[in-house]
Structure 1
Amino acid sequence: MHYLLEYLYSLERKGVKLGLDPTRQLLKRCRNPHQDLPIVQIAGTNGKGSTAAITARILQSHCQKVGLFTSPHLCRFNERIRIDGSPIDDSYIIQWLDEHKGDLEDVSATYFEVTTVMALSYFKDHRVDVAVLETGLGGRLDATTAVSPTWTALTPIDLDHMDLLGDTVRAIAREKAGILKPGVPCYSVPQPSWVREVIQSEADRVGAPVTFLREEAAVPLPLRLPGRHQHTNAKLAWRLARSILGGDFIQEVAREAVETTAWPGRYQQLGDHPRVIYDVAHNPHGMTAFLDTLAGESVKGRKRLVLALQQGRKAEQMLDMLLPRFDTVILTQTGIRSFYSAADLAELAGTSHPGIRVERDTVSAIEGAVGEAEKEDLVAILGSHYLGPAVAKVFKISFDIL
């Protein structure tokens, strides 16, 4: 691996640092690539990546050159930064790091701050028509909020990252609503009343026109993204695209774009006979959406689960939700320090489920579950983006191509 790529990946050890000043300083040193760039910023608890991907797909279908910045990646860093669906090249990453390494060190930039500014530089250098940015964590103090968006959007808001954003939904909603800007239109999915109150209050305070979506009959189901929650994401993306494109929006073109959008790790089918599903749901709200979609499956055989979970995200609640729905459960781990070890996860699960076992090696856990499954069984691989490398290895797939 090139030493500059190793340097980039080493920045992950700095962890999360909320605040806008380092990003603003780095943007300035990189000649403010965000200026004069039409930007969509999307925040929320779940559905940000899917909404961003569907929005980008609709815009591309209308002959727009679209930059897409999402996180985290499933297997390769390059997945985070795309133009018209294609990941950034290693050559650009190396060139950019070579030019700006001194700047990164001067401002003590974190991994996410660096990747945000790199993405904006890439989009500016390649003259995209629109950049779609997924907020990383929260909103108010996230690196993506250092830019000046032309449109903003809010996906469903619920509990997540409570150690950093607050321990109530209201507190988290205030952080997410921090992306609102004076005069910049914001579109939101329907929210619980207490979340809506927080968003409306912040919108009134800063002078941002906010629209809470109602039913839009014309919006099709995203056929490659199963689940009612994905239809909600599609409706938000549809409304965003209509606002961006104005009179150039063509309903039939947008319909085909929605129906053909693919976004890996979202109830992604990896195999049939047995049916194998990979989903990155990692908090109670996401698990509820996953289980709602699973309930629509007609499974004649056994349901098997491979699960890894991150600490601090109501793991016990998620275990209570998941365990009764599966016949066998293999608890595993990602190797990321913020995750439960398989043994600790088993301790949380207790002895109430007779079908639980522990397998520390993720590849072996997946291979074991799939290998033991009968043709009529369903295997779910669940709990994290960070299971991506093991999934890619076992099924010999790439997440580069959408």
Structure 2
Amino acid sequence: MTYQETIGYLYDRLPVFQNIGARAFKPGLHTTRELCRLLGNPQDKYPTIHIAGTNGKGSTSHMLAAILQEAGYRVGLYTSPHLKDFRERIRVNGMYVPEEFIVQFVDDQKSNIERLSPSFFEVTVAMAFAYFEIAGVDVAVIEVGMGGRLDSTNIITPELSVITNISFDHMQFLGDTLAKIAGEKAGIIKNGVPVVVSEEQGAEVVEVITAAAEAANAPLTFAARTYEASYVDMREGKMLVDILKRGSGDVVAEHIALDLTGSYQLKNVAGVWAAKEVLVSKAWNIGDEAVFRALASASAITGLKGRWQKLGQAPDVYCDTAHNAAGLAMTLAQFESVCKGRKRFVIGFVGDKDISAMLRLFPQDAEYYFCEPSNMRALKAVELQARALEHGLKGKSFRNVNEALKEAVRDSAPTDAIYVGGSTFVVADIDSL
């Protein structure tokens, strides 16, 4: 098969969550374990770092991968979903997995795929683990797909586990309380493996994670109790932050420049700094100068897109992949702070998610351009338009994000600002991304 035929086979043959939602969800690790056993358990051949969380796990994964790469390590990075190219999911030192490897892997494993009937995600996880072994990585940073306990990535025993935060998302799979969701995320905690929690959490979440860590005899660090990332300024398109010691206020690191400029990165970078410190304590050679270089160019080093990314100016156009109430609240607050004129929102969502809490976050004194992602799970733009109206949000509907964005730009004065988002898949459809 050609590369395009191979990708077509994967999408046609395997259940794909981003297309069909719950019907593609296969809880349990048996199939992934069996696929990897047949591959010789490549995930056991190199050190790994495991990242879970409701929000921030993608940014955290990319920042840690960039830091390790700048420190001189050969770094594998597995993330999901992809925005533009399937190969975004599997990278080594920022370079996509070769098309030839994907073709050969699927050809070699086709009989096992047909026999085991794995999900799309299970195959891509096994593919990533196999490629990282062949590519000779020194370490692989592995982002959880959903949850943790039953996520396909959870067959690894990492050097370090990171849980960025716990908030409401995917409740039909992970539970309808923060304690239940925390229990699923805490499933990545392994016996004796240090775990870092990036953000300050409520008592019910802290109790669950602490109990899981104690049961596993896993050293636990709550990063927000040790460090605070403090905003300093914006300079040359980068956000300057200081890392302070919590309590004393002593400066641990001064004027770190972040090319990921979303305000929510202040929470992520405190967790990243704490994770770096744990790795250093385990004899990983990571100097502060490597951290500074990496964080100043994390998106360039790793290829990360869609996190508070500026797409245009006069009017300013921002996009962000925030797709739940907790994440969206932060990006909308930042958008409010940068908008000098009329606020315009180009938004779309998937249809199998309760979006009421998110719609309540949007201001009524703004212009709306409702669209839909090019995705089988898409909420139709006209239905979104009707549901938004129930929350006092008025606007026009469009077939896709690019038509909606063009109209928003045409309607704008130079001082206006446009926010594009609501769903990862809406951002993925932006032509100019």
Q: TM-score, normalised by structure 1?
A: 0.93
Q: How does 1:178-257 map to 2 (within 5 A)?
A: 178-189=187-198, 190-213=200-223, 214-215=226-227, 216-217=243-244, 218-219=252-253, 221=256, 223-245=258-280, 246=283, 248-257=285-294
The residue correspondences of 1:341-380 to structure 2 (distance < 5 A) are 341-350=380-389, 353=392, 355-380=394-419
**Post-superposition CA distance 1:188-241 (Å, at most 9, x none):** 122222111110011122222211112142355552212332022112122223
- Say which of 358, 373, 378 aligns to 1:318: 358
Q: 1:259 aligns with which of 268, 284, 296?
A: 296
Q: Does 1:41 align with 2:50?
A: yes
Equivalent position amino acid for 1:201 in 2: A
Asked if structure 2 preserves the Cα contact closer than 8 Å seen for 1:332 and 1:358, the reply is: yes
Counterpart of 2:179, as a letter, is R
Give distance in 2, aligned partners of 1:387 and 1:129: 35
- Range 139-148 or range 338-347, more displaced: 338-347
Residues 152-194 of structure 1: per-residue CA shift (max 9 Å, x gap): 0000110100011111111100000000010111111222221
Secondary structure of the structure 2 residue equivalent to 1:42: strand
Matched pairs, number: 392
1:127 aligns with 2:136: yes
Aligned: 1:177 with 2:186: yes
In structure 2, how many angstroms separate the alpha carbons of the residues matched to 1:241 and 1:77?
29
**Structure 1 pair 247/28, CA: closer, same or farther in 2 (3 Å)?**
closer
The answer to whether the 8 A contact 2:350-2:373 is kept is no
Q: Is the 8 A contact 1:301 1:376 kept in 2?
A: yes
CA distance in 2, matches of 1:294, 1:142: 33
AA aligned opposite 1:289: M
Residues 1:100 and 2:141 are matched in the alignment: no
Question: 2:36 & 2:391 partners in 1: Cα distance?
Answer: 53
Paired position in structure 2 for 1:4: 6
Q: Distance in 2 between matches of 1:236 and 1:351?
A: 38
> SS of 2:103's equivalent?
helix
Q: Which has the higher contact order (CA 8 A, sep 6+)?
A: 1
1:5 match: secondary structure? helix
* Corresponding residue SS for 1:238: helix
- Return the alpha-carbon distance in structure 2 between the equivalents of residues 374 and 355 of structure 1: 19
Shift in Å, 1:271: 0.8
Instruction: Name whichever of 354-363 and 146-155 sits farther off.
Output: 354-363
Alpha-carbon contact 1:222-1:230 (below 8 Å) kept: no
TM-superposed CA distance for 1:283, in Å, is 0.3
Task: Name 1:269's counterpart in structure 2.
Answer: 310
For 2:88 and 2:409, how far apart are their aligned partners in 1?
26
Note the C-alpha offset of 1:387: 1.9
Relative to structure 1, the CA distance from residue 175 to residue 351 in structure 2 (aligned partners, 3 Å threshold; closer, same or farther) is closer
1:296 to 327, 334, 337: 337
Amino acid at match of 1:284: A
- The one-character-per-residue Cα deviations of 1:42-84 (angstroms, maximum 9, x if unpaired) are 0010000000000001111111110010111111111111111
Distance 1:247 1:95, change over 3 A: closer
CA distance in 2, matches of 1:256, 1:320: 39
Structure 2 vs 1, CA of residues 7 and 354 (structure 1 numbering), >3 Å: closer, same or farther?
closer
For 1:104, give the aligned amino acid.
I
The offset of 1:351, in angstroms, is: 5.3
- In structure 2, the residue matched to 1:161 is 170
Q: CA deviation at 1:312?
A: 4.7
Is contact 1:138–1:165 with CA below 8 Å preserved after alignment?
yes
Deviations 1:287-338 (A, max 9, x none): 11212322331x33211100011245431111110133x5211111113233
Name the Cα RMSD after superposition.
Answer: 1.8
Higher mean alpha-carbon deviation, 180-189 vs 342-351, is at 342-351
Amino acid corresponding to residue 320 of structure 1 in structure 2 = R
Deviations along 1:107-157, one digit per CA (max 9) or x if unpaired, are: 211000001110111111000011000000100000000122221000011
Distance 1:111 1:207 in 2: 34
Q: Secondary structure at the match of 1:258?
A: helix
Evaluate the alpha carbon distance shift between residue 210 and residue 303 of structure 1 in structure 2; reply closer, same or farther with a 3 A threshold: same
After superposition, residues 53-72 of structure 1 pair within 5 angstroms as 53-72=62-81
Compared CA separation, residues 25 and 7, structure 1 to 2 (3 A): same
Please tell me whether the aligned partners of residues 267 and 279 of structure 1 are also in contact (alpha carbons under 8 angstroms): yes
Change (3 A) 1:339 1:170: farther
1:400 — aligned with what? none
Deviation, structure 1 residue 354: 6.3
Conserved in 2, the CA contact under 8 Å of 1:227 and 1:292? no
In 2, Cα distance between equivalents of 1:183 and 1:155: 19
Q: Tell me which protein shows more strand as a share of its residues.
A: 2
Distance in 2 separating the partners of 1:107 and 1:223: 44
Q: Gapped runs of 5+ residues in structure 2? A: 228-242, 245-251
